[in-house]
Amino acid sequence: VQLQASGGGLVQAGESLRLSCALSGRTARSYSMSWFRQAPGKHREFVATILRYSGVTYYGDFVKGRFTISRDDDKNMVYLQLNTLKPEDTAVYSCAAVMAESSRDIMQNPTIYNYWGQGTLVTVSS
């Protein structure tokens, strides 16, 4: 399984971006998919999960309705819509996949994921 994240860039505060993650090698519908981010000098942070089969979503506490995760299993794609971006959202955003589904507490743990994409940089200027 390979994951390829894209869609990052430089935007101003308040603007939006849509990140994409393409899964190849297997069918995406068998995987729960998540986004994590890592800012310079900080630990990796859970952003969002969309579970396989049910499509149930979980979000990090900081999201507060600004981000939306979605998936298109026919296209083997997962998306992360980022709205009302803030300078503190600046980070490398990475997608991850695991052939399982569980509670939010479990899904936000990066160690459960088998596959990771290379990340895409989001920079938000003030």
- What pLDDT was estimated at residue 91? 98
- What pLDDT was estimated at residue 31? 97
* Mean per-residue pLDDT, 55-79: 97
Helices (H), 1-126: 104-107
Given a cut of 90, whether residue 25 has pLDDT beyond it is no
d(CA 65, CA 110): 22
Task: Tell me how far CA of residue 58 lies from CA of 1, 83, 84, in angstroms.
Answer: 23, 17, 19
* Mean per-residue pLDDT, 8-29: 95
- What pLDDT was estimated at residue 18? 98
pLDDT digits (tens, 9 = 90+) for 102-115: 999 999 999 999 99
Q: Are 24 and 32 in contact, with CB atoms under 8 Å apart? A: no
Nearest-10 Cα torsion for 104, 110, 111, 113: 90
- What pLDDT was estimated at residue 26? 84
Locate 37 and state its tokens.
């981010």
Give the whole-number percent of the chain exceeding pLDDT 70. Answer: 100
